[in-house]
Amino acid sequence: MIGRRKALILGAGVYLIGACLCTVANNIEMLLVGRILQGIGVCAAGVMSRAIAKDLCKKKDLPRVLSWISIGMATAPAAAPALGALLYFLCGWRSIFAVLSVVSLLILAHAYWRMRESLKIQNQQKSVHRHFVLFLSLMMHRNLMAFALVAAAIQSAWFCYVVMGPFIFFKTLGLGVNDLAYISLLTAAGVACGGWFSIRFTPKSTPLRLIALGMALCIISGLAMMTFQTQPLHLLSILGPMILFSFGLGVTIPNATSLALENQERQAGTASALIGFTMMGMSTAVTALINALGLQSTTELGAAIALLSAFAISASLLGMHGRAA
């Protein structure tokens, strides 16, 4: 196959084309095509970042490196509403995609001129059919799938907040777009602090212990959101638990990803793709279900977070059983 470097360059190129299309779009169809291309391109970056980390890092260093990656991957979309709102008010909506075009161009240039291939040559000689068969076979790998489901469940809980949060803030609390931007920065700070905590304590602890701590914080945040409701609803009754959840997410996902990639040196790219597929697939299904059911209240958001966190705990127990066996 083409290796990590070329795959990343191809993904960045597709994202750049999508961002440029969105910048000049004069109808909704063109905008949707651009957004789809952006989605395809950004998936390559997520998959390749995990695979490259697996290629280059020793086992004991992988959780720390993945924590840095997770800080960027989780903080960027969390902080995006604040930056997007600023660009929108200053220069209009097209400026958002113009900035994304410039950023993707810089990433593409860096990958083309400065990045070296991390995958050994002998591991690149696989056909598309072989990769597809390997992808399906990895679905039967208990350790990989168990911890991929842990990361997927916690990310899905975050997507519940992304879908339901704006309705609660705008319709129930009467907040404005600027308020949502500041709130997004606070939740982004929670993710970053969780990632920093994971980096700081990785040498002193184990991924399993950090996952247990992160999932405990996530389920506590969901239960707190369900239980401690004020009349009328106060901003802190949702923001406080969400900051706690964001911290738990920042601790859980990088360590779950590290355990999912354990012993996958020869197929790190395919394993990383399966992790990304599981995370995005589950998040898409959960958000579609939320929209279909019309869930919009703080109590329902807390219940969704608690249920998905409980699912993550169950998946981690399955992974621990597999490791013990």
Q: What is the mean pLDDT of the chain?
A: 84
- Asked if pLDDT for residue 124 goes beyond 70, the answer is no
Whole-number pLDDT of residue 195: 86
More confident residue, 133 or 75: 133
Burial (CB < 10 A; 0-12, 13-18, 19+), residue 70, is buried
In the block, tokens 């009467």 appear at 174
Whole-number pLDDT of residue 135: 73
Across the range 11-32, mean pLDDT stands at 93
- Of 1.10.3470.10, 1.10.287.3510, 1.20.1250.20, 3.40.50.10490, the CATH number of 59-91+127-324 is 1.20.1250.20
**Interatomic CA distance for residues 232 and 228, integer angstroms:** 12
pTM (two decimals): 0.81
Domain spans of the chain? 59-91+127-324
Whole-number pLDDT of residue 265: 64
**Interatomic CA distance for residues 297 and 279, integer angstroms:** 24
Render pLDDT for 216-242 as a digit per residue (tens, 0 to 9): 999 999 999 988 776 677 788 888 999
- Quick one: DSSP state of residue 168? I
Whole-number pLDDT of residue 313: 95
**Interatomic CA distance for residues 119 and 262, integer angstroms:** 17
More confident residue, 180 or 219: 219
Across the range 14-29, mean pLDDT stands at 93
Render pLDDT for 155-178 as a digit per residue (tens, 0 to 9): 999 999 988 988 888 887 888 777
Q: Which of 67, 61, 54 is nearest to 197 (CA)?
A: 67
Q: Are 244 and 190 in contact (CB under 8 A)?
A: yes
Structure tokens at 318: 């399955």
Q: What angle do CA 11, 75, 81 make, to 5 degrees?
A: 90
- Asked if pLDDT for residue 95 goes beyond 80, the answer is yes
- Asked if pLDDT for residue 150 goes beyond 80, the answer is yes
Q: What angle do CA 299, 301, 305 make, to 5 degrees?
A: 115
- Asked if pLDDT for residue 7 goes beyond 90, the answer is no
Q: Are 184 and 78 in contact (CB under 8 A)?
A: yes
Render pLDDT for 271-286 as a digit per residue (tens, 0 to 9): 888 888 899 899 999 9
Structure tokens at 25: 């779009």
Q: Are 121 and 216 in contact (CB under 8 A)?
A: no
Render pLDDT for 258-267 as a digit per residue (tens, 0 to 9): 888 777 666 7
Q: Are 321 and 252 in contact (CB under 8 A)?
A: no
3-state secondary structure of 25: coil
